[in-house]
Homo-oligomer: A and B are copies of this chain.
Amino acid sequence: MADTTRDRILEAAYRTLVRRGYHETSMKDIAEEAGVAPGLAHYYFESKEHLLVETIRHGCAPLVEEWHQRSAGTPAGLEEAVEIGREGLEMQKGELKRHLELFRLIFDLFGVGLHNPRIGAAVQEFVAEDRERIASVARAVMAAAGQPSRVQPDAIAAVIWASLNGITLQKLINPEFDADEAIDALWEMIATFIAAHSGAAALKAS
């Protein structure tokens, strides 16, 4: 998976940042983990900040890939739209199991972004993109549901993004935390909400 030296550094950064966090990881640590000279990391990456962002991008690539494959066309009806949403949550469950480390890195990014303008900008963009993925599904569902609601799909998407990330945070803080149960509960709330806003008693959740 690591053809180029650049990739080797990126992957060494991934491992080291995940293990120790942004502030406890030095460029030298990363270079050492990659088995290269200390100066080389700066040859490929302008600064430690840039390396962090690139590392996360690199780590997210497979997830983004997977997501794009899944969200092929526009959903046909309510049922299909709901199904996409449901699947999205299931996917998140899996990611939380397989890539929890990546989320640790992302929360590091959030933390750094809170006090560092350059990273802050990258974080904002990242979050907006992520939330938009949810929002597009939310819009599809609510459009198909017909019965208009007081709340905008984008606000719902913000809540769902918030929930998912808050759940991740709890899992990160306490590995014993049952994230699956929480995601299921979230789905119940979403499903109930959709049911209440579509004509029928329609949904047989999960």
Contacts and interface: CB of A to CB of B under 8 A. Distances in A.
A185 B185 CA distance: 17
A71 interface: no
Nearest to A120: B173
Nearest to A182: B158
Interface in A160-206: 161-167, 169-170, 172-174, 177-178, 181-182, 184-186, 188-190, 192-193, 195-196
A107 B113 CA distance: 11
A7 to B, nearest CB: 23
B174 A167 contact: no
Interface of A: 20-21, 23-24, 104, 107-108, 110-111, 113-116, 120, 123-124, 127-128, 131, 149-152, 155-156, 158-159, 161-167, 169-170, 172-174, 177-178, 181-182, 184-186, 188-190, 192-193, 195-196
